[in-house]
Every structure is written in structure tokens, then in C-alpha cells.
Amino acid sequence: MKIAVYPGSFDPITFGHLDVVARAAAVFDLVYFAVLINPHKAAPIFATDERLASIREAVDESCPPDMAARIAVEAFDGLTVDFCRSRNATFLVRGLRAFSDFESELQMAHTNRKLAPEVDTVFFMTALEHSYLSSTLVKEISAFAGDLSQMVPGAVIRRLASRGRSL
Ligand code: PNS
């Protein structure tokens, strides 16, 4: 059984993340959407629990049921490779949107390989139509109540709307 971990902050999840996880689920038997618990990250939009719930909803609403059943959503803290080991995952998934992502991703992949040689990082190219998306820009648009409907799934829009932010 091929098990992969897709780690990130996902604050919030975007259509780009959903695209990457669907590509990964087409290749691996089980993919963990792994949300980093980072209490030091400045001004998060969503608490960890809200991120987990919105990711679960977004996956269930956008993926076919047989695929959604093979995507687990969990929080973790500490090192990503330790979470991989705890879940018997030997692959780590990351998305690449543009060449500019490559340098930091390569550095992370080599660092993780040094820490855990048995875990291989696999990159999926984010679909072109989502390649401009970033959680940082989404946060900024949300702060000014801009239209995020083409950038983030309904699960995120609904949570923002309930707070009177964004649509
Ligand atoms: O969505 P992000 O913020 O780009 O994700 C970055 C993430 C969570 C993958 C990275 O910061 C991470 O793996 N953090 C956990 C701590 C760790 O393992 N650090 C060493 C990785 S080089």
C-alpha cells in the first residue's frame, strides 16, 4: 500500500490544494492531508479545527466518494517526517505552481530526505488555472471582503461568510 502525506498550513485551503490532493490520490492508495499546528504563525484566518473541518468538507464535496474515502485529514505538530513515519507514509506530496516555488521546495525536500531517507518527496504541478493562487493572497482579499468564490471552496466561503468576511 502506497501511503503519502500532503503537509501544509492550508490557511485556508484553496482550489490549488484540492487540485494537488486529487492528483496525489490518483497515484497513492492513501493520502493524509496533514495540517500543521503552528501556534506561532501570525494572524491565522482559521484555527486548526476549522481548517480540518473545511478541508474535510471540501474534499467530500469535490472528490468522487471512492477518492474522498482515501484522503484522510489530520493535524500534526513537530516534524513532517515524524508524522510520515507515524502513519507509515513513504511519500511526501507538495505542489509546484511556478518556477519560483522550486528553490524553497528543493531545499525542503533535501532536508526531509536527510532526516528520513525512506521518505521520498513527490511534486505535482498545480493545474494552470489555479497556479496563481496562494493562501497569503486569499487572506488579504478576505480581509477586505473581496470575492473569493473562484479561489477557495464553498466550505471556506461559508465559514468566512458566517463571520461577515468575504462573500
Ligand atoms: O503550506 P506551507 O506553509 O508552505 O507548508 C510548509 C510545511 C508545513 C510543509 C513546512 O513548514 C513543514 O514541513 N513544517 C513542519 C516542520 C518540519 O518538518 N520542518 C522541516 C521541513 S524542511
> pLDDT per residue over 62-106, tens digit each?
999 999 999 999 999 999 999 999 999 999 999 999 989 999 999
Q: What is the DSSP code (8-state) at residue 164? A: T
- Each residue's pLDDT tens digit, 94-143: 999 998 999 999 999 999 999 999 999 999 999 999 999 999 999 999 98
Q: Please tell me the distance from the alpha carbon of residue 8 to that of residue 154, in angstroms, as a whole number.
A: 20
127 DSSP assignment: P
Decide if 110 is catalytic.
no
Nearest CA owner, ligand 1 atom 19: 79
Considering the domain 3-162, what is its CATH architecture?
3-Layer(aba) Sandwich (3.40)
Contacts of 13 (CB under 8 A, 6+ apart): 51, 54, 55, 58, 152, 153, 155, 156
The pTM of the whole model exceeds 0.85: yes
AA letter at 28: F
Pocket test residue of 5, 9, 18 for ligand 1, highest count of atoms within 8 A of CB: 9
